[in-house]
Structure 1
Amino acid sequence: MRSITRSPAGLSLAAAGLAALTVLAVSGAAGTAGAAPAGTDSLYAPSALVLSVTGGDDAASGTVLRAVTLVCAPRPGGNHPAPAAACAELRANGPELDALAEPRSDAACTREWDPVTVTADGVWQGRRLSYSYTYANPCGLRNSIGVLFGI
């Protein structure tokens, strides 16, 4: 059996670190730099989405396979693999995302039923957006027209 002992010096260092963090938190010096007060206006309408791919025909009861964030204002970002291209598609199509989700007409996919559902939830140009599209199988998703759901 292995036992770990702590020296009083180690405890006093940990206590000193905790005390320093407490002072910073109480004084407001930590975590507030650059934060805008609530209710302030921005030059850009908020545009941030969470995109997900879920196994199954219902996003609420399926298993989330992948999820990413996409921020489009003031500049493309998030952990989407191609944020600039995805934001450009969103700007071109607005909140009508069916045009981006549809599989290409020349896609050669089997007719097996193994559904996957993509969702986009968040805010697009200051308005709430909630979108869902179910593919018959993963091949349809791989062959979708846009890069938005290519996560």
Structure 2
Amino acid sequence: MPKTARLAATLTLTAAAVCGPFAGPALADPAPVAKSLYAPSALVLTVGHGEASAAVTPERAVTLSCAPKPGGTHPAPVDACAELRYSGGDFDALSANTGAMCTKQYDPVTVTVHGVWQGKRVAYERTFANECLKDSAASVLYSF
């Protein structure tokens, strides 16, 4: 066998041995790979006095992360994340008043929520007539 033919045969066998396991349908149709095990959920909540967020200077701000586990600077992250999951991320449902007795004094308090909830962008704002009404909302989320 000529030297060139022997070299060609050796290269062909080596290539088949090395590349053989990579050929076939497994390479052509790989199984989908999970990009993440959970959808991100991280929020920044602020509260300040005034009617509109553009005119409101935040007086307090907290962070809330719900995935992979509850955390952040929110005073009750476990309960706040549980409320959000239960409401399906509906912030208006969490703003309902419990019927507490509050004065009719108008001193508006605005709460804002910005960030990502279960992989979706969130921008929410709610203005309460006064601090008492904000505190009487049936939610741990706004208690910071």
List per-residue Cα deviations over 1:61-89 (Å, max 9, x = no partner).
Answer: 11211100000000000000000000000
Of 34, 38, 41 in structure 2, the residue corresponding to residue 44 of structure 1 is 38
Q: Provide the residue aligned with 2:91 in structure 1.
A: 97
Question: C-alpha separation between the residues in 2 aligned to 1:131 and 1:95?
Answer: 11
For 2:107 and 2:77, how far apart are their aligned partners in 1?
28
Task: Output the aligned Cα RMSD.
Answer: 1.2
Using the aligned pairs only, state the percent identity: 55
**Residue 80 of structure 1 aligns with which residue?**
74
> What secondary structure, in the 3-state scheme, does the structure 2 residue paired with 1:108 have?
coil
Q: Distance in 2 between matches of 1:137 and 1:102?
A: 14
TM-score by length of 2: 0.74
Q: Quote how far apart the aligned CAs of 1:54 are.
A: 1.5
Q: Provide the rounded CA distance (Å) in 2 between the counterparts of 1:73 and 1:128.
A: 15
8 Å Cα contact 1:47/1:123 also seen in 2: yes
Q: Is the radius of gyration larger for structure 1 or structure 2? A: 2
- 2:132 is matched with 139
Structure 2 counterpart of 1:8:
none
Q: Which runs of 5+ in 2 are unaligned?
A: 1-33
Amino acid at match of 1:146: S
Q: Secondary structure of 2:81's match?
A: helix
Taking the aligned partners of 2:111 and 2:124, their CA distance within structure 1 comes to: 8
**CA–CA distance in 2 between the matches of 1:120 and 1:103?**
18
The separation in 2 between residues aligned to 1:66 and 1:103, in whole angstroms, is 21
**TM-score, L = length of structure 1:** 0.71
Query: Structure 2: which amino acid aligns with 1:115?
Result: P
When the two structures are aligned, how many residues end up with a matched partner? 111
Instruction: Looking at secondary structure, tell me which structure has more helix per residue.
Output: 2
Q: C-alpha displacement at 1:96, in angstroms?
A: 1.2
For residues 1-151 of structure 1, the aligned pairs below 5 Å read 41-105=35-99, 107-151=100-144
